[in-house]
Amino acid sequence: MEKSVFIVIPAYNEEKMIGKVIRELKENNYNNIIVVDDGSKDSTSKIVESLNTNIITHIINRGQGAALQTGTEYALRKGADIIVHFDADGQFKAEEIKNITQPIVNEEVEVTLGSRFLGTAVNIPHSKKITLKLGILFTYFFSGLKLTDTHNGFRALSRDAAQKILITQDKMAHASEIVDEIKKKKIKFKEIPVTVIYSEYSKKKGQSIFNSIKIAFNLIIKKLAK
Amino acid sequence: MTIIQIILILFIIFALSRVFLRLKEGTISWKEFSFWTIVWTTGIVIVTNPKIPGRISYTIGIGRPADLILYTSTALLFYLVFRIYIKLNQMEESTTKIVREVSIEKARKNEPKSNKNN
C-alpha cells in the first residue's frame, strides 16, 4: 500500500514566497500540505487559504520548532505515514522530496536529514558556511553524532519516528534537539544530499552567528536542568 | 547594639512578617516559607553576632568576613537566577502547548470538506 506523505511547512511572515512554495509542491503531486502559520502579521494565512491548503494558525508567534511540532502532531492525527519538514522561504526544491522520502519508503531508515554539504548550497554566504561548520562541531560534542549538516530544515520522518521525537525547543534550537532525540532514542537515520538555494530574500531571513550562540546556550541549559 | 544593627534587625523582622503573610495567603508553600525563614533568621543571627562571619571565614580560609558574605550571596544569586530561567522556560513550553491545542482544534473544525489524502 502506498504510504501517505505529508509536507509540514512552518511559516512566519512568508507572504512573498508561500504561494510559490505551495504551487511547486502541488506541481510535484504533493497535495497533503500542512502550513503552520506561526502568528504571522502579513497575508501568509490568506494566501494559503486561497490555495485550498490546510492551515493551522498559532495565535501568537512561538518559533519554528513549535510550529514544526504542531504541524507534525496534526499530520499524525490525519494519518500521515511519512512527514516531510519543508521551509516556506523557497530554499528547498520540491522535486527532491522523492529523494528524501525514498529510504523511509524502502524501510532502510526512520529519519532522513537533508545535507547541503553532501548536495549543493547555491550562493551560500561565507559567514553562514562558517556558522554551520561550527554547528557541526557543536553537535558532535553535544549529541555525539557526526553529521555533515546539522541545521537543515529539510528532513523526513516515518510515522514511528515522528511519534518518538518530541520537539520542545520552540525557536531555532529545535534542529539540534531533533538530532539529540535521534541519538537518545536510537532512531535509524541517514543523510541525503539536498539543494539549498540562498536568494537575497532568504539571506535576509537567515540566522546570525549570535543566534547560533543562543541556540547552544539554550541546549546546554536544557541538559543541565534535567 | 549599633544603629545599623537595629535598622537591619527591624528590616529583617519586616521581611519575616511578609513571608508569614504570604504563607497565610497561600501564595508560598511550607517549603518556601521554611527556606526564607531560615535565610532571614540567619540574617538576624549574623547581625546580632557580627563576629560569626569572621570566625567562619577564618576557618574556611577567606580573609575578610565581608568577602565570605559576598561570595555566598553571589553564588546564591546565580543559583536563583538559574532557577528563574528554568521556570521561565517551563512557562514558555506550557504557553506553546496551549497555543498548539487551540490551533489544532480550530484547524480540525475548519477542515475543508473536499480535502482528501493522497
- The position carrying cell 511519512 is A82
Q: Are strands A33-38 and A5-11 parallel, antiparallel or unpaired?
A: parallel
pLDDT at B115: 46
Inter-chain touch B89–A222, beta carbons under 8 Å: yes
Alpha helices in A36-125 (DSSP H): 44-50, 64-77, 97-105
Question: CB of A112 within 8 A of CB of A188?
Answer: no
The predicted complex's ipTM stands at: 0.84
Distance from CA of B76 to the nearest CA of A (A): 17
Interface A-B: count of C-beta contacts within 8 A: 63
Q: Which residue of B has its CA nearest to A52?
A: B112
pLDDT digits (tens, 9 = 90+) for B58-115: 888 887 878 888 888 899 999 999 999 999 999 999 999 999 999 999 998 887 665 4
Tell me what the mean pLDDT of segment A35-53 comes to: 95
**B40: enclosing H helix or E strand:** helix B30-48
All cell numbers assigned to A57: 494558525
Q: Is the pLDDT of residue A120 over 80?
A: no
Inter-chain touch B103–A168, beta carbons under 8 Å: no
Inter-chain touch B86–A32, beta carbons under 8 Å: no
Q: Is the pLDDT of residue B117 over 50?
A: no
Cα torsion angle, A88, A90, A95, A100, sign: negative
SS3 category, B2: coil
Distance from CA of B80 to the nearest CA of A (A): 13
User: Distance between CA A126 and CA B114 in Å, rounded?
Assistant: 46
Inform me whether the C-beta atom of residue B85 falls under 8 Å from chain A C-beta atoms: yes
pLDDT digits (tens, 9 = 90+) for A167-201: 998 888 888 899 999 999 999 999 999 999 877 77
